[in-house]
Structure 1
């Protein structure tokens, strides 16, 4: 752990204070920081190294990208409080401008992903088959859900509606949410063909679900989280709509190095570790109950199941 002198030296630079301000909003790739700051990537990398060496930030390599996040802990909280207590002077204008540029970067990324979905909507089900057969994944999901009713089911990022098709009949009511109108058109056609036209379909972003607080019993994120720029925010939004003891199931990939999925298929993240997902569960007030690993094929599939905390701690289900 760095000492106080290292920490204050690390913060004694305007660019590093700007990086700190950006990291308070979300985890960012070094290239994205360089784009917002208008500096070369090697120069930004040097600033990031100094912040990480001082314990202010943390780096995580993912394929050819390096993501940077604000460190956690009481010392960092105290540091942020101290910075907020002091005026930034002329630097405040830079921080405000950086925030606006960051919003533009995020908008560009979201637009690129939306365009990809629009262009590849008809191939979506095939793209989901880079791993063990989907039937095996769905069978494991069904075992984890058990035999009871799923209550009000929310399928976040419903795509062509496969999760509604598979689990909608086990729910009292179901809603599929997707930001792509083309995806929803395909889902509507498929569900109608299967006699499941009662399922509600809504166009919305997974960071702004059109569902009231605590209104859902079950939420599913099936091969959706790797498209998220801020996965922790997506999980927090899913937790918001769950009632007490409601369940969230995430199906996604374990960490991998298939860089072409980022460049060709708009994946923002190359899989997730148990540590990452469970940490995000904790931040969102969710308690992990089961984790399953399905190996085979080109990618390893992970299933994480959690319940929304309520009252006394629930007993964790055996794996």
Structure 2
């Protein structure tokens, strides 16, 4: 009874209800929530503390930022399920829609900052990455993880300068490279082999909304891309969606670190990922974690996570409607 009363008290405030609805959309930083709801960060932090004490919200510190997600406790799930069962009133529907629109604007601002950085540093990007960790070691580990199993249709999400399609494209049946920067795609095209024909498709698009059909890809690669994502779990869910049954998703990125300058200078949205965090996101996307490998570096550690889809691919709502 005590837990139930704490939860009801925590939910008995309009701002805290707005925070819950926002966190149902994606994991967010406290500052992002403050920007969306139009309140000061200290005031939002007080609301977050009440929600966290009731178990409705979990906090995760990352450098100078605090990220929030919905609580996973067994006592909390039944209360959160009420949001699916109760139809909002007209006024509630209005502020929910307005908050989600402002959230989209916040994410767009951050996306534009990252795109501006990419445009300014496109030709230097391979060199910048090599400062973090020896790329030859990362590439060798990725090649070993994928092994001799056929690559099939390869999707390189966030292809950048095209190094991954250069590395794995020859052994693939078909290659799709996705990036949201035209400058990056221009550089990636320069690395395509002569006579490539229609084997290679380079697409301009967002890694949180991959323009491919569900279950259409055999191997998905995300190489040093996920730390730019505002909602990494959504990117992983998209990678899993397009993966065929028994298809593989390979992610190479940083382990958790405290190099705050990478966020400020290089537009990193996340300062690395833990194995527990990644395993949770894989499981939520229907991926079975097969292998994890750690490549320590002098300053930053690179982690490799290899997952496999073991259930039928999830269809987008639009695909269900057109099926």
TM-score above 0.5: yes
Q: Distance in 2 between matches of 1:271 and 1:87?
A: 37
Partners of 1:130 and 1:299 within 8 A in 2: no
Residue aligned with 2:190, SS: helix
Alignment partner, residue 71 of structure 1: 71
CA shift digits 1:132-174 (9 cap, x unpaired): 3111111111111112321111111100000011111121221
Alignment partner, residue 200 of structure 2: 199
Structure 1: give runs of 5+ residues left out of the alignment: 312-319
The residue correspondences of 1:94-243 to structure 2 (distance < 5 A) are: 94-192=95-193, 198-243=199-244
In the alignment, structure 1 residue 81 sits paired with structure 2 residue 67 = no
TM score, norm. by length of structure 1 = 0.92
Structure 2: give runs of 5+ residues left out of the alignment: 313-323
CA shift digits 1:251-309 (9 cap, x unpaired): 00000011111111111100000011111110111001000000023210000001101
Residue aligned with 1:252, SS: strand
Shift of 1:3: 1.1
Q: Distance in 2 between matches of 1:14 and 1:293?
A: 44
Q: Distance in 1 between matches of 2:175 and 2:154?
A: 5
Alignment partner, residue 30 of structure 1: 30
CA gap of 1:176–1:28, structure 2 versus 1, over 3 A, is same
Q: How many residues align?
A: 310
Q: Distance in 2 between matches of 1:45 and 1:253?
A: 28
Shift of 1:86: 5.8
CA shift digits 1:117-146 (9 cap, x unpaired): 111111110121133311111111111111
CA gap of 1:37–1:310, structure 2 versus 1, over 3 A, is closer
Alignment partner, residue 316 of structure 1: none
Partners of 1:215 and 1:243 within 8 A in 2: yes
Residue aligned with 2:21, SS: helix
Shift of 1:111: 1.4
Residue aligned with 1:264, SS: helix
Q: Distance in 2 between matches of 1:2 and 1:143?
A: 52
CA shift digits 1:89-140 (9 cap, x unpaired): 6444333321221111111111111121111111110121133311111111
Alignment partner, residue 319 of structure 2: none
Partners of 1:34 and 1:40 within 8 A in 2: yes
Q: Distance in 2 between matches of 1:309 and 1:57?
A: 30
Shift of 1:73: 4.5
Q: Distance in 2 between matches of 1:87 and 1:296?
A: 51
Alignment partner, residue 285 of structure 1: 286
In the alignment, structure 1 residue 20 sits paired with structure 2 residue 20 = yes
CA gap of 1:273–1:56, structure 2 versus 1, over 3 A, is same
Partners of 1:114 and 1:180 within 8 A in 2: yes
CA gap of 1:87–1:196, structure 2 versus 1, over 3 A, is closer
Q: Return 169-178 or 301-310, whichever deviates more.
A: 169-178
CA gap of 1:78–1:298, structure 2 versus 1, over 3 A, is same
Shift of 1:61: 0.3
Alignment partner, residue 11 of structure 1: 11
Q: Distance in 2 between matches of 1:294 and 1:227?
A: 20
TM score, norm. by length of structure 2 = 0.91
Alignment partner, residue 41 of structure 2: 41
CA gap of 1:292–1:106, structure 2 versus 1, over 3 A, is same
